[in-house]
Structure 1
Amino acid sequence: MNHNRLARLSISLALAVVIGCEKPETVVDLADDPITETVHPAAYRTTDAQQFLKTVFAGYRAAMSYHDRGRVRLTTTENGKRIERVAPMSMWMQSTDVDLVAYDVRITIENSIMEAWVSDPASDDMDSQVLHIPLPLRRGRPSLDAALTDPILAGRLGSGMAGPPPQLEWLFAKDPMARLFRGDHQFRFLADQRIDDRLCRCVQVLVPEDRTRSEYRFYIDAQDNLVRQVDLPPITLPDGQGKTKQATIRIELSAASFRPPSRRRVRNGFPKSPQKVKRFVPVPLPPPSRSNEVPAELLDQWKAQVRDYQAELQQARL
């Protein structure tokens, strides 16, 4: 998948994580204004679609609890058959505690401590590394700035099918979706639709992209002003035969709610023998084949990479 193109198309929806740079950045900057528990309903059709959407996101910034069973769905066709890929993108927040499952990334925040790990059997869960970072509180929210500048964590979140989970920006950014409300973007209401048997208002956003316009659609619950679904612009993928095919991407936020959850989710997939680190260290590639045909210098290079990794990991350990 062309993740660079996907990140570009989804830039108005995702956290601005710069992947692969020396100084990854994020727009998750918490407001100086105190957070209150008052969430004012968005007035449907009494104002324009842009202001309606702003009011919806303001409700996320004011919320003291939130949870969903979100996922990302990529749909395309192969040989005339409908093919779908689904990845988790679920969020749980109660006051200052957070659980996030996005692609192969797992994040928990409890007592102002963030722990993040990667569920990836191919790398032995990145050699059981667990990123362990204290997070200061700002106006009732954990400050995620330091955590999301870890290049490996940012890269894992940003290179998924739909980029970083938008719930992070809605709940933690100083000005949620600020990029969406800049420039000559066009907003309008479309016909209401039912999502998960809930009546939803639909806001279409047209974003200029070179010589075309990319279309985003937000489906907002008519009763509680929660985003139930986001349709991202279609992308073009190689079909493996020298041609291209279209794919659609949808973020489905099933069971989203601002109500306090009854209990915290079970923490699944935590490494059995965690190596707690202050920063993720990239693991070396698997060893080259043990065949006699493998040049000795390749084996020597791999051994050197392992030694370098072990030394860097030792420095990163807590």
Structure 2
Amino acid sequence: MIRARALTSQRLGAAATRELAASASLPHALRSLAGSPYREAAADASLADAQRGVAAALLWNLRVLAGWLPPAGAPLLRPLAAGFEIANVEALLKSFSGSSPPPRAYRLGALGTAWRRLERADSPGAVRRMLAASPWGDPGAETAWGVSVGMRMAAAARTAEVGPARTWAEGRAALLTAREMFVHGHVLPTPVRRRAADVLGDRALRATGLRDFRDRLPAGARWAVEGVADPADLWRAEARWWAVLGRDAEDMLRGSAYGPATLVGAVAALSVDAWRVRAALELAARGGGPLEVFDDLVG
């Protein structure tokens, strides 16, 4: 766990990230990353490529962390790194339409759950069948949306089983459900609804509006949507989720005990830093702006 704490030095940090966000242009911002942990984000990259480079740097650190653990430790990290496998599957499904070649898949190593099989899928139906036969479970649909929401809810449910991350996972499941139901007006596929009910309780899934949904949530998940009355403001709740994740991660890393909480805290701290850097690059691409808005949403 000493190594886990040491790995968190591979962060840009809040002050430098604010400076990055204030850059007058994306090329200027990328040049300032040259000597940072995210130096592999090319100076002439597009915004999408640069943000992908930042994510790849995070994944590399998580793979290093997994490599330090005994064989039984990797399963603890897989749910926390599930977003990379989801991104791979989303890109694979997009490639089936023929609209554009998929980006090179993230290399997951020991952090992969079913990607070694999924990458050989040749149709949306095959993707769904392979997911159903894996720990991901059946997403309940083979459309790009159905697979994406199914995998994201499955990731939240799996992460909820990682003790120190349970509250974050419950909050993430609440935000995902609220956005799908009350922003997009979607009816969740049956398997997704079942997983959501496992995490949030069935009462919340029967809510008729966002306020009703919030009031029906268990305490461990309600915090994520507290104070949000209008679905249009859910973006603020999502930014606050990241801010709370960062605050909790720092508390875990400051603790004196060694154990899963230190490991989970390190993963969260690295993930928050990468998220903030990606957000800062987007602000720089728009001409620069303050990043403090995300800090202001913790309360």
Fold-level match, TM-score > 0.5? no
Larger radius of gyration: 1
Q: Return the structure number with greater strand share.
A: 1
Taking CA–CA contacts closer than 8 Å with sequence separation of 6 or more, which of the two structures ends up with the larger relative contact order? 2
